[in-house]
Amino acid sequence: MYLTHLSLTNFRSFARLDLEIPRRAILLVGSNAQGKTSLLEAVYFLAAFTSFQTHADRQLLHFNTVREAKNQVSVGRLTADYQRGTGKHHLEVRLILEPVGVGNGIRLRKEILLDKVKRQAHEVIGHFNAVIFAPQMSQILEGGPDERRRYINMALAQTFPAYARTLSEYHQALTQRNALLKTLNEKGGNSEHLSIWDEPLTRLGSQIILWRIQALQELEIQARRIHSQITRGKEVLRLVYQPSYEPLPTPAGQISLPLEFPVDRSGLAPEEIRRGFAEKLEKIRAEEIARGQTLIGPHRDEVRFLANGIDLGDYGSRGQIRTALLSVKLAEVAWMQSRTGEWPVILLDEVMAELDIQRRADLLNYLAEAEQVLLTTTDLHLFTPEFIRQALVWQVQDGKIAPQNDPAEEE
């Protein structure tokens, strides 16, 4: 799929931006602080309805818009036309800042319209797909487990239609269950009441575990293939899913399986996982009450990345981590494409500067096949003349975007 038009109003430093976007590689060139990353952030927001840079949507609104919101309703807007298969679609997101009552501060509300009809985020997610790769994403490998869960969730939500909704319902059940555990911990009471929250927690949780098993297995196959090409066969990359509730039998006295051994959870039936999860919860009831929270489940899942058996999060070198991340990201593209039958729009922020010459060439080769790629750089020299000839080069300066050359027109 590919974007044909994008317009932004009061998004980051763009007071107003209108862009016709062709179906090809577009190279956004500009010095620091001109709006390159912000543009990619906007496109990704239309796919995930959350920013890859911040949890606070308010930061996405232009400073002036936030300032005005003290006295009036003010709006930031992202709209896109895109082509998916043979269909043309229109997507709009409104970020609405409005005063609460009188003198009670302001709040932000999100409205999403697909083909002019208002929808919930979980209904729209997956209609327009994008994969983003930025240098700070090495956090996926190096950061805490919540970084990895967030990453996996954003990829899966775009790919499995019911994932986003199931995940949000799971968190609703989790919040209720945690509230009850906290009450039981502080005030005591009948712990049998927990079982009614075990039901939605395990029903929704087992579904999420099942999707993660499936997705990580498929992602690993792609990542291993790509990583082997990129490292010229020197490294074997593995993605190891470590569900916090382990549905497979574990060695006596251990809650998880050892990292080193490949495990196959693909044969597990949904009902089998659900029942096991529920039984496990029964067993740890006393401990959960003592701690006042739910101790196992998808909200505590972990994924580890291994190269030649070595855990990259703990022992990876800078270069190894960058390369592995490149493989994982390209695997995500390939996986999404095989699952949905459509190329996602690929967004690469300052990625070239981080790679050596060989890896750059590999990446550019790979991108030549993609439908639409938006790349940012401060330095055009990082790209080969061939690539620049095929791509469209746009100059980004002070929140404005202007074509620098269009080889297609010169021919």
Partner 1 sequence: MILPDPLQKLINALERLPGIGPKSASRLAFFLLRSGDDLADELAQALHGLKERVAFCQECFNITSAGREHCEICDDPRRDSTLLCVVEDALDVLSLERTGGFPGKYHVLHGVLSPIEGIGPDDLKIQPLIERVRRGGIKEVILATNPSMEGDATALYLRQRLEPFGLRVTRLARGLPVGGDLEYADQNTLLRALAGRQEMD
Ligand X SMILES: Nc1ncnc2c1ncn2[C@@H]1O[C@H](COP(=O)(O)OP(=O)(O)OP(=O)(O)O)[C@@H](O)[C@H]1O
Q: Which of 82, 29, 145, 69 is nearest to 396 (CA)?
A: 29
SS (HEC) of 136-180 = HHHHHHHCCHHHHHHHHHHHHHHHCCCHHHHHHHHHHHHHHHHHH
DSSP string, 285-298: HHHHHHHTS--SSG
Q: Is 270 in the site for partner 1 (CB under 8 A)?
A: no
Nearest distance from C-beta of residue 160 to partner 1, angstroms = 18
Quick one: which H or E segment has residue 333? helix 318-340
Q: Which does 172 bind (CB under 5 to 8 A by kind): ligand X, partner 1, Mg ion, none?
A: partner 1
Give, in order, the Cα–Cα distances in Å from 360 to each of 69, 353, 384, 385.
Answer: 44, 9, 9, 13
**Are 98 and 73 in contact, with CB atoms under 8 Å apart?**
yes
Distance of closest approach, residue 97 Cβ to Mg ion, in angstroms: 25
The Cα–Cα gap between 235 and 221 comes to 14
Nearer to ligand X, 63 or 315 (CB): 63
Residue 347 beta carbon to ligand X: minimum distance, rounded to whole angstroms: 12
CB of 382 to ligand X, least distance (A): 13
Total site size for partner 1, rule CB under 8 A: 24
The H or E element spanning position 198 is helix 195-230
Contact flag: residue 133 with ligand X (CB under 6 A): no
Q: Considering CB distances under 5 to 8 angstroms, the limit depending on partner class, which of partner 1, Mg ion, ligand X, none binds residue 13?
A: ligand X
Distance CA 202, CA 209 (A): 10
Q: What is the number of H-type helices and E-type strands within the chain?
A: 14, 15
Select 10 or 294, whichever has its Cβ closest to partner 1: 294
- Location of structure tokens 């022992």: 315
Q: Which does 173 bind (CB under 5 to 8 A by kind): Mg ion, partner 1, ligand X, none?
A: partner 1
Amino acid at 335: W
Using CB under 6 A, which of 59, 136, 172, 397 touches ligand X? 59
**CB of 156 vs partner 1, minimal distance in Å:** 21
Residues 71-110 that bind partner 1 (CB under 8 A): 98-104
Report the residue from 175, 338, 365, 397 that binds partner 1 according to the rule CB under 8 A: 175
Of residues 248 and 295, the one with the C-beta less far from partner 1: 295
**Which of 2, 12, 204, 212 is close enough to bind ligand X by CB under 6 A?**
12
- For the chain, the straight-line distance linking the first and the last C-alpha, in angstroms and rounded, comes to 26
Residues that contact ligand X, how many (by CB under 6 A):
15
What is the three-class DSSP state of 97?
strand
* Closest to 226 (Cα-Cα) out of 378, 354, 129, 333: 333
Give me the least distance between CB of 33 and ligand X, in Å please. 3
With CB under 5 to 8 Å by kind, the binding choice for 296 among ligand X, partner 1, Mg ion, none is none
Q: Which is nearer to partner 1, 192 or 287 (CB)?
A: 192
By beta-carbon proximity to Mg ion, the closer residue of 334 and 345 is 345
Q: Which of 189, 270, 403, 407 binds partner 1 (CB under 8 A)?
A: 189
- Which residues in 12-71 contact Mg ion (CB under 5 A)? 36-37
CA–CA dist 201, 239 (Å, integer): 26
- In total, the chain counts a number of residues equal to 411
Query: Of 47 and 112, which CB lies nearer to partner 1 in the complex structure?
Result: 112
Q: Is 177 a residue that touches partner 1 (CB under 8 A)?
A: yes
Write out the residues near partner 1 by the rule CB under 8 A.
98-104, 169, 172-173, 175-177, 179-180, 183, 189, 192-193, 195-197, 199-200
Residues that bind Mg ion (CB under 5 A): 36-37
